[in-house]
Amino acid sequence: MSSPVDLQPKPSVIERCTLPGADPASAVAALRPLVSAAAGTGEADAERLAGHLVSLARTYSTEPFTQLEAARHGLGVERPEFRLLLDTFARIPELRTAVEQGPAGKYWTNTVLPVERSGALDAALHGKPWFPNSVGLYPGPTCMFRCHFCVRVTGAKYEHSSVAGGNEMFASIIDEVPTDNPARMYLSGGLEPLTNPGLGELISRAAGRGLKLTMYTNSFALTEQTLSRQPGIWDLHAIRTSLYGLNDDEYQATTTKRASFSRVKKNLMRFQELRRERQDAPRLGLSYIILPGRAHRLLDLVDYIAELNASAPDRPLEFLTLREDYSGRPDGKLAPEERAQMQEALSAFDERVRAHTPTLHVDYGYALESQRMGVDAELLRIRPETMRPTAHPQVAVQVDLLGDVYLYREAGFPDLKGADRYIAGRVTPDTSLAEVVERFVVERREVEPVAGDEYFLDGYDQVISARLGQMTADVAAGWGDVRGFLR
């Protein structure tokens, strides 16, 4: 007697439909019985709908900010059938997985969907007051580096007299921030956080409320002496060190400071040794921007991390964030030759990571994840005409040492031309951060973007702006309940 035929499709066939080299026809065949059951259609209709569903998955896995009307017109279907497609898509989890694991999946999983779940995007969409989902504290009064890609005005800094009052202001924000999301707050800049002599006390204050702060730093001042003077640094959840090269020459070319690579490496080696003595020590990781012409240095980066790990074999570095520098490419694209070199370098890098730093979690970000898959990566580009005059303070704000609340992450530098237009208000002894945001939103304040303002947005701001633009268009087109495609 023959065994019953299993009519259930293999989920992996559907989940892989968005990956390079996948056979869409196989995914359509696997989807057909599921579509027939979910949509209650006959075989011929199920075949057609399954083909459209695979097309939708492939579209949103590579172009996540596509507006629903554009997707509908691309399929050439009327609104009733498109509604059926959206409803059916939502009933087949494998299709959602295919989008999230596709070439642009990091846009969905790293940023869009987590912020969506917080409610902050809907608050921004509908103009409702909302305590920011992300709060960056910029406590550094100065910086010892002058990196060529940094927007900081040369020599700009905060007066030393502003530090004490600024730290009191930061303490008040720490005391008011809701603790429902422990990772809501982080320390960055702006300027270098470790130049603030009261930083450790602020960190301990936040940790006492259950907040898990990550500090973004260049680690030039992460010395044993600093740790002795500011023991509160040990209360951080994580330290993310920006790495500007892999030898003193590269560091000097980027930061203009001599012997800075050697000092940072020495600091990190010693920090590794000290971490071994503390069970609850902060997680440690690196951020590395692949500057033009340096893709081949990725193998040396693995060797560098392996060397840091050797100083504390039982406490290896936990994470690495890799990013590509697109700042000098107006179209956001790599040239074909450079793209091929990048893909080759990433493949060799992956292999060496598995061999020498197997516990390291590598975050490739938005574009490099696509590059690893062999897809032509292109960074999202928000222009002044696509910037939202209302910005998105419900999603994220940044606060500097003066208490000024900036709407975008790259605007929070002292004396930066035009950046003061993106100050939502100021936190004072009489005005809380929540009140600054509420006034900005309730009064429906807007900033009219001008040429060059797009450089105030970092990658995160670009994604949030694109998502809100997509959602706004979908609502205006009558797709409010399904705006943004994945929810």
Give me the residue spans of the domains in the chain: 11-102, 110-114+385-482, 128-384
Least confident span in 146-160, 218-232, 256-270, 271-285: 146-160
pLDDT of residue 1: 36
Confidence check: pLDDT of 323 > 90: no
Confidence check: pLDDT of 328 > 60: no
Residues in contact with 66: Cβ distance below 8 Å, sequence separation at least 6, in sequence order: 59, 60, 470, 485
pLDDT tens digits, one per residue of 398-429: 999 999 999 999 999 998 999 999 999 999 99
pLDDT tens digits, one per residue of 63-117: 999 999 999 999 999 999 999 999 999 999 999 999 999 999 999 999 999 999 9
pLDDT band at 6 (very low <50, low <70, confident <90, very high): very low
pLDDT tens digits, one per residue of 119-158: 999 999 999 999 999 999 999 999 987 776 666 666 789 9
419 close to 406: Cβ distance less than 8 angstroms: yes
Q: Name the token pair of 214.
A: 């990550």
The CATH fold of domain 128-384: TIM Barrel (3.20.20)
Residues in contact with 218: Cβ distance below 8 Å, sequence separation at least 6, in sequence order: 143, 144, 145, 192, 241, 242, 244, 255, 264
Confidence check: pLDDT of 335 > 80: no
